[in-house]
Amino acid sequence: MFGYVKPFVPELKVRENELYKAVYCGLCKSMGRGTRWFSRLSLSYDAVFLAFVLASLHGYAFEVYPGRCGLNPLRKKPVAKDCEILRYSAAVSAHLTYYSVLDKISDERGIKRLSAKISLPLCRKMKRAAEKIAELDGAYTEECLRRLHEIEAEKSPGLDRAASCFGDMLGRYFELGAPDDKKKSAAMIGNYTGRFIYAADACDDLEKDEKKDAYNPLRYGGTDVSERLHAAYGAMCIWADRAASELQLEGGLGDASSVADNIMRLGMIDIAKKVASEHTEGKGNGK
Amino acid sequence: MARDPYEVLGVSRGATDEEIKKAYRALAKRYHPDSFTDPSQRARAEETMKEINAAYESIQKDKSGSSSGSGSSSGYSYQGPRNGGVGIYATIRQYINSSMPDEAEQLLNTVNPADRGAEWHYLRACVCVLRGWYYDAHTAASTACSLDPGNEEYRQLLDMLERDVNRADGTYRTAQTSDCDICSICQTLACLNCLCSSFCR
């Protein structure tokens, strides 16, 4: 995915920040074990977020031990111990990487398309390994992506239809990893997060898509660009707030839920502010 | 019928008054209905709050034998469109007020694009709010307001959306402004120290 879902570090407690880094490392190791070494290259903030939400819903506290990382084998760092949640998040990350590579092959041109094509066989292996580890609903993901492509081909204005397709897709992954009595809440959190990610990506790519004359839901519609970005910012804030409130209602009280809360209430808003203002500022400088 | 009150508060049976109070405060802060803007989440928070209050009260009663009055919860409802209006819009309003966005949208789509006035955009905004489509809701509501600036109903919906956004990014904004610059404190202290050491020898 795209890395728009990360914590707002200045407001994290020191021990929460340590935990975040430990889970990041733990997830990377879990990916190496479960979905082949090359899947570690696709490690993203989004998968770490998934791990925190699931831990919060399961009421699970990550166990941390001092471990070593291949990138810097001399220093020991805190690493979260492998567990069901990390294995599941790793599988989801690998699964989604495969689909995003497929997406790149159909959307991009030139060097990016070529590199996506080269990595496709590896990604296919990753996807198969992921499906062995966890029960994932590949058919549903394909269905959502197909709907998304249809909407994009129609060039329909308005962000929500496309964003909610993406949200449905992500919601399904959250749902499948959640405990039985909290599946609905997990789906809702995933859904709002997915909408958020799609919207953030649309805002971020707006300038690029205008230059390339590619589809972007924010390019069309009657009002002017700054108004559309303002509406998108508002929508992103409300989605983040709804997701955070849902976890507040259903999640546990431990550090995992404080980290997830920080990501949604501060980290996501921070990103929303950045992506929604960047475009207008860039325009101002250009003139 | 109800869950064990100690289980609700997440404390053991042997917990001290202090522990119980602490657990109660933490839960009450977490589930306070005022921190939820979505009506359904708010209703659920109210339910949980009631359960927590009842558990706390019953433990207190167990311990001291005295009872205390129960707190009343404030009502909250999403301000949907008023019923009424003419022709097709009256039916659409009814669909929206009974939370049937699909039916409402179907009817909205039957309106000839040339006849789509402020009310049409307003009702479309209401449908979008029901679905959680806050981007389209915002653009449709502002279109309705610009077409008919004097209408209070349209203005209210736009204000409601803006208010939700302000609430959502309020925490972030306070986090941004309250992060007191440590360097400026150090500078001030250093200056004060110089002044003091030169004057108060």
- Nearest CB among A8, A223, A233 relative to B142 is that of A223
Chain A residues whose C-beta is within 8 A of a chain B C-beta are 8, 10-11, 158-161, 163-164, 192, 195, 199, 221-223, 227-228, 230-235, 237-242, 245-246, 248-249, 253, 265-266, 269-270, 272-273
Chain B nearest C-alpha distance from A279 (Å): 17
At residue B175, the pLDDT reads: 77
CA dihedral sign of residues B164, B168, B172, B174:
positive
Question: Across-strand partners of A78?
Answer: A66
Q: Inspect the interface and report whether the beta carbons of B136 and A8 lie closer than 8 Å.
A: no
Report residue B184's pLDDT band, with 50, 70 and 90 as the boundaries: low
Residues A105-125: what's their mean pLDDT?
87
List, for residues A55-76, the tens digit of each pLDDT value: 999 999 999 999 988 788 888 9
Q: Inspect the interface and report whether the beta carbons of B38 and A248 lie closer than 8 Å.
A: no
Cα distance between residue A220 and residue A192, in whole Å: 23
Helices (H), A178-219: 183-212
| Residue B118: CB atoms within 10 Å | 18
Report the number of secondary-structure helices (H) and strands (E) in chain B: 9, 0
**Type and span of the H or E element at A10:** none
At residue A106, the pLDDT reads: 85
Length of chain A: 287
Report residue B79's pLDDT band, with 50, 70 and 90 as the boundaries: low
Residues A70-83: what's their mean pLDDT?
88
Which residue is associated with the tokens 């404390």? B11
With both helix axes pointing from N to C terminus, report the angle between B134-147 and A225-250 in degrees, rounded to the nearest 10: 130
At residue B179, the pLDDT reads: 46
Q: What angle do CA B94, B100, B106 make, to 5 degrees?
A: 90
Residues B32-39: what's their mean pLDDT?
86
3-state DSSP assignment of residue A65: strand
List, for residues B132-146, the tens digit of each pLDDT value: 899 999 999 999 999
Report residue A107's pLDDT band, with 50, 70 and 90 as the boundaries: confident
Of the candidates A163, A116, A124, the one whose C-alpha atom is nearest the C-alpha of residue A144 is: A163
Cβ of B143 under 8 Å from any chain A Cβ?
A: yes
CB A78 within 8 A of CB A28: no
Kindly list the distances between the CA atom of residue B144 and the CA atoms of A94, B137, B152, B153, in Å, as whole numbers in the listed order.
45, 10, 11, 10
> Which residues of chain B make contact with A241, given a CB cutoff of 8 A?
37, 164, 167-168
CB A177 within 8 A of CB A137: no
Q: Inspect the interface and report whether the beta carbons of A234 and B162 lie closer than 8 Å.
A: yes
For residue B82, which phi and psi values (nearest 5 degrees)? -70, 145
Report residue B201's pLDDT band, with 50, 70 and 90 as the boundaries: very low
CB A231 within 8 A of CB A171: no
At residue A161, the pLDDT reads: 92
Which of A6-10, A40-44, A243-247, B147-151 comes out lowest in average pLDDT?
A40-44
Of the candidates A52, A72, A55, the one whose C-alpha atom is nearest the C-alpha of residue A12 is: A52
Which of A83-87, B14-18, B66-70 comes out lowest in average pLDDT?
B66-70
With both helix axes pointing from N to C terminus, report the angle between A84-107 and A160-177 in degrees, rounded to the nearest 10: 150
Cα distance between residue A237 and residue B27, in whole Å: 25
Report residue A89's pLDDT band, with 50, 70 and 90 as the boundaries: very high
Q: Which residues contact A276 (CB under 8 A, 6 or more apart)?
A: A203, A229, A230, A232, A233, A236
Q: Inspect the interface and report whether the beta carbons of A223 and B164 lie closer than 8 Å.
A: no
Q: Inspect the interface and report whether the beta carbons of B134 and A266 lie closer than 8 Å.
A: no
State the burial class of residue B35 (Cβ atoms within 10 Å of its Cβ: 0-12, 13-18, 19+). middle
> Which residues of chain A make contact with B30, given a CB cutoff of 8 A?
248, 253
- Nearest CB among B10, B131, B165 relative to A238 is that of B165
Percent of chain B with pLDDT over 70: 76
Cα distance between residue B95 and residue A175, in whole Å: 30
Q: Which residues contact B197 (CB under 8 A, 6 or more apart)?
A: none
Kindly list the distances between the CA atom of residue A183 and the CA atoms of A173, A247, B171, in Å, as whole numbers in the listed order.
10, 12, 28
Q: Inspect the interface and report whether the beta carbons of B30 and A240 lie closer than 8 Å.
A: no
| Residue B17: CB atoms within 10 Å | 11
Strand intervals (E) in chain B: none
Cβ of B31 under 8 Å from any chain A Cβ?
A: yes
**Alpha-carbon Rg of chain B, whole angstroms?**
26
At residue A158, the pLDDT reads: 82
pTM of the model: 0.81
Cβ of B181 under 8 Å from any chain A Cβ?
A: no
Which of A196-200, A266-270, B168-172 comes out lowest in average pLDDT?
B168-172
- Nearest CB among B38, B162, B172 relative to A266 is that of B172
| Mean pLDDT, chain A, integer | 89
Residues A68-93: what's their mean pLDDT?
91
Chain B nearest C-alpha distance from A231 (Å): 5
Helices (H), chain A: 14-34, 45-58, 84-107, 111-133, 138-154, 160-177, 183-212, 225-250, 255-262, 268-286
| Mean pLDDT, chain B, integer | 79
Of the candidates B93, B175, B151, B164, the one whose C-alpha atom is nearest the C-alpha of residue A231 is: B164
Question: Across-strand partners of A80?
Answer: A64
ipTM: 0.81
Query: Is pLDDT above 70 for B183?
Result: no
Query: Is pLDDT above 60 for A214?
Result: yes
Q: Inspect the interface and report whether the beta carbons of B38 and A223 lie closer than 8 Å.
A: no
Residues A146-151: what's their mean pLDDT?
92
> Which residues of chain B make contact with A228, given a CB cutoff of 8 A?
139
Which long-range CB contacts under 8 A does A68-71 form with residues at least 24 apart?
A69/A25, A69/A28
Report residue B77's pLDDT band, with 50, 70 and 90 as the boundaries: very low
> Which residues of chain B make contact with A160, given a CB cutoff of 8 A?
128, 131, 133-136
Percent of chain B with pLDDT over 90: 25
Cα distance between residue A271 and residue A200, in whole Å: 8
| Residue A155: CB atoms within 10 Å | 11
Report residue A287's pLDDT band, with 50, 70 and 90 as the boundaries: very low
Query: Is pLDDT above 60 for B68?
Result: no
- Nearest CB among A161, A239, A241 relative to B167 is that of A241
Q: Which residues contact B69 (CB under 8 A, 6 or more apart)?
A: none
CA dihedral sign of residues B91, B92, B94, B95:
positive
Question: Mapped to the 3 state alphabet, what secondary structure does A219-231 carry?
Answer: HCCCCCHHHHHHH
Cα distance between residue A141 and residue A173, in whole Å: 9
